[in-house]
Structure 1
Amino acid sequence: MMRKSRGFEGELIIEVPKIAITNCEELPLIRSLFISRMGFYPKALHHYYQRPGGISQVILLYCTDGKGWIQIQDENITVHAGEIIVIPTGIPHSYGADSKNPWSIYWFHLNGSQGNEAAYAIMGAENQNFQPIQVGFSDERNVIFKQIATTFLKGYSAANLLLANLSLPYYLSTFIAPEFFSRQNGVTTHVSATDRAVKFMQENLSRAITLDNIAQSAHLSISFFSRKFKQDTGYTPIEYFNHLRIQKGCQLLHFSDLRINEVASQIGIDDPFYFSRLFKQQMGVSPVNYRKNKGIDLH
């Protein structure tokens, strides 16, 4: 059974004033995604909302204790502790706390042109029924929430609006990739097969490892592992390994006096011509020109 992490203490609601919302819409760094309301309700026994036409903001509800319910698209859904649900703009809905074991929830209303994109990034574009997503518990996630709230509570200067809202994507990333944040007292609760494979790659950058080697490190068959890895990262395992190799090669070209063939050897490539082709394919310049210009002409 997962221990629930320490959270924000006491009820909290922050309503960002209309004038501050207007300022957010005019600040280039945050105008595409920013917070209009946020709060924390512990054991919110009588918490209930009904919005037959939806609203113009994205709603994020993260349950950390107890349970609640949401009705959306004529379906009644139970939301348990450790789950999140995000409701895009304009979606009719109602929700509330369970009468016997009421939820504790962290919540946000999000504005901006990328609000729905953020919603689907968390819930998954294929999640058409808006089912809750299990994201577990994280002390770090709650610390970020508290930092955002504390910044708003200091007032709505441009600096405060920027600081609070630039922290929002990092907060949302704790739901998009919860495996990196679901830790208690510094102990990771789950290490995925992809995590194990990437760690193996990082530890073996100087070797010419094979797909079979990588799949074995993840304790999976080659075919299943390859599909899962590409689903998780967007790359095949060998493509990903080559990215890590070239990343290491860039560091060596920057910070060492090794010759090109020695740099290649350091990342497990015996053929310097293959290394140069691979490097140029990824970085857009040859290793020689990269070293000469220290990467400045890359982009």
Structure 2
Amino acid sequence: MLIPDGFPGQRMLVLPRPRVREFQNQPGTAGLIVTDCGYFPRADLHGRRRTQPVGQAVVMACVDGSGWCETEAGRFPVNQGQVVVLPPRQPHAYGADTNNPWTLWWFHAASREVEDFLTAAGMTTENPVRRPRDLYPVVSLISEVVSWMERDTTTTSLNAAAGAAWHALTLLASERVRGDEGGDVIEHATAYLRAHIADRVTVPELAAMASLSTSHFSALFKRHVGYPVLQYQTMLRMSRARELLDTTSATVAAIAAEVGYPDSFYFARQFKKVHGMTAREYRDQHKG
């Protein structure tokens, strides 16, 4: 038997659905709304089985104990330090472990933007469990969500809760999924590229450092980062070039060399391709 709530010491807020609809129809507030949130300590027998999908994403951070979740892709264990993200409009189930029930901070968030964001970030029914390197920032943000929702249901409070919820989702989007292949390898590779912006670093060299074939490494890199290796390297170099153009009086040729382009003409072509203007035109813009 699974029970949805009623645990000693729990905190739980459910926004009246008429207020949800009112908030979603207000100008400027349709991006995200937290509809439900709470804290369930040692939630023995806690769980839900939703065969009729709900319109909210469900986010649950397990700070102690363990449990499980199910989607159409299968059943997934959930351990201390992990976060479950269940997309909206999909049937799902979840529950606390019988012998070691979980303690959860959680919220439900609704909006079309949330659904699209989760899909783009890979937080899908196939990968519902995240494992943040540091759970504390995520839990702190969910705690902030709960505190704002406890305060009142004014637009100010709901906006503040929505901001904290968005922040939590963006942190989770930057983390690896449970059992994700090659996450540490790619983190090391991106850190190496950031530390060696001006150096000539090839894809085969990075793959060799990771003891992987070039093709396998390239595929992993694009899956984790979202861009091919050389395009990511160009992004890093152009970011540093913009910083130098904005904060120094160095010549374009000197900046080109500092960010890894000994051929200043090639740098000029790359800069214009990325920015739609020359480096000098960029420097002359009014910014800030």
TM-score (normalised: structure 1):
0.79
Matched, 1:208 2:188: no
> Shift in Å at residue 172 of structure 1?
1.3
Identity %: 24
Alpha-carbon separation, structure 1, partners of 2:196 and 2:70: 50
Assess if the C-alpha contact under 8 Å between 2:45 and 2:95 holds in 1. Answer: yes
Alpha-carbon separation, structure 2, partners of 1:93 and 1:201: 40
Matched, 1:133 2:129: yes
Alpha-carbon separation, structure 2, partners of 1:76 and 1:238: 38
Assess if the C-alpha contact under 8 Å between 2:56 and 2:87 holds in 1. Answer: yes
- Match runs of 1:91-130 below 5 Å: 91-121=90-120, 124-125=123-124, 127=126
Matched, 1:272 2:264: yes
SS at match of 1:109: strand
Partner of 2:59: 60
Using a 3 Å threshold, how does the CA distance of structure 1 residues 248 and 33 change in structure 2: closer, same or farther? same
Alpha-carbon separation, structure 1, partners of 2:76 and 2:204: 42
Partner of 1:234: 226
Assess if the C-alpha contact under 8 Å between 2:82 and 2:135 holds in 1. Answer: no
SS at match of 1:285: coil
- In the alignment, residue 288 of structure 1 is paired with which amino acid? R
SS at match of 1:102: coil
Assess if the C-alpha contact under 8 Å between 2:58 and 2:108 holds in 1. Answer: yes
Alpha-carbon separation, structure 2, partners of 1:292 and 1:223: 42
SS at match of 1:178: coil
Matched, 1:157 2:168: no
Matched, 1:41 2:37: no
Assess if the C-alpha contact under 8 Å between 2:85 and 2:129 holds in 1. Answer: no
Alpha-carbon separation, structure 2, partners of 1:161 and 1:249: 40
TM-score (normalised: structure 2):
0.81
Aligned length: 276
Assess if the C-alpha contact under 8 Å between 2:48 and 2:93 holds in 1. Answer: yes
> Shift in Å at residue 193 of structure 1?
1.8
SS at match of 1:207: coil
Alpha-carbon separation, structure 1, partners of 2:208 and 2:194: 15
Partner of 2:141: 144
Assess if the C-alpha contact under 8 Å between 2:186 and 2:221 holds in 1. Answer: yes
Partner of 1:289: 281
SS at match of 2:230: helix
SS at match of 1:162: helix
Q: Report which stretch shifted further, 211-220 or 267-276.
A: 211-220
SS at match of 1:156: coil
Superposition CA RMSD, Å = 3.1
Cα displacement string for residues 27-77 of structure 1 (whole angstroms, at most 9, x for unaligned residues):
455413221001111111132434442333332333333233445559665
Cα displacement string for residues 81-119 of structure 1 (whole angstroms, at most 9, x for unaligned residues):
344434444444444333322222222222222343344
- In the alignment, residue 114 of structure 1 is paired with which amino acid? E
Q: Report which stretch shifted further, 140-149 or 60-69.
A: 60-69
SS at match of 2:38: strand
Alpha-carbon separation, structure 2, partners of 1:98 and 1:134: 18
Assess if the C-alpha contact under 8 Å between 1:254 and 1:294 holds in 2. Answer: no
Alpha-carbon separation, structure 2, partners of 1:71 and 1:225: 31
Using a 3 Å threshold, how does the CA distance of structure 1 residues 72 and 224 change in structure 2: closer, same or farther? closer
Alpha-carbon separation, structure 1, partners of 2:25 and 2:136: 33
- In the alignment, residue 16 of structure 1 is paired with which amino acid? L
Matched, 1:260 2:252: yes
Assess if the C-alpha contact under 8 Å between 2:141 and 2:168 holds in 1. Answer: yes
Gaps of 5+ in 1: 1-8, 180-189
Using a 3 Å threshold, how does the CA distance of structure 1 residues 213 and 90 change in structure 2: closer, same or farther? closer
